[in-house]
Structure 1
Amino acid sequence: MIRVNEDELDSEPYGPVLYQGARFTGEAEDRLPDGTLVSLTTYVNGLQDGPDKEWYNDGSLRSEGQFRQGVAVGVHRTWDPDGNLVREVEFSDGGRILRRRGFDTAGNVTWEDAG
């Protein structure tokens, strides 16, 4: 699978992502000047499709989720810099928000609502 820097991709709002004029299939990464990976997004035929991850500058996970044909699916999670889960958003297979939850630093649910 091809991997390119996200700066090499072209896109229009709500349009497919292009690489060298064609719909992109592969992984797009963003790195800090020191080489630290801070984001990795997977595309198929110009649409987000597969894992999407972001990391803090120290390498700890910041967020992760899955996309299918440009639509968020499954559970997307976000962590604080100390590694505590702070938010979960659950999406249907069609991208509709089913549930959102927030957490305190002890892992307790502090708020929840249905989509």
Structure 2
Amino acid sequence: MRRVDADDPEVDIDTGHRMLYRDELFTGEVAEHQGEQIVCLDVYLDGIRNGLTRMWYPDGTLKLEGNVLNGVASGEFREWHPNGVLKSRRYFDDDIYSLREETVWDEQGRVVRGWTRSKD
């Protein structure tokens, strides 16, 4: 899969918020770095985020992971505290692009908030 750096001067965003590379809609991975460390990696299809998205803390610890469908969160998204403990888990509906369920934990792994959308 083709990969470009988000800071490449040939990477741009058009008025429709689509990713361009060399003035063409981009398909592949877009990586963002902080120094030598990768801190964000997104998959694009025809200029739209579409696929796995990941973020890392500057030390390389995974920060966030989830899937995006046509530019919108889809399915499960997980986020971790810097110490590696799960921070949140969110579930998004694929068909209506909305948050269905969320659980949040503190840095010791204790649930601090839980929420589920009613089926009404």
Structure-1-length-normalised TM-score: 0.89
Q: Secondary structure at the match of 1:48?
A: strand
Deviation at 1:12, TM superposition (A): 4.0
Moved over 4 A (4+): none
Match of 1:29 in 2: 31
Gaps of 5+ in 1: none
Residue 22 of structure 2 is aligned with which of 20, 23, 27? 20
Number of equivalenced pairs: 114
RMSD over equivalenced CA pairs, Å: 1.5
Match of 1:10 in 2: 12
Task: Name the CA distance, whole Å, in 2 between partners of 1:7 and 1:83.
Answer: 28
Task: Name the CA distance, whole Å, in 2 between partners of 1:47 and 1:68.
Answer: 9
Task: Name the CA distance, whole Å, in 2 between partners of 1:13 and 1:90.
Answer: 29
Provide the identity percentage.
32
Structure-2-length-normalised TM-score: 0.86
Residue identity in the other structure for 2:33: R
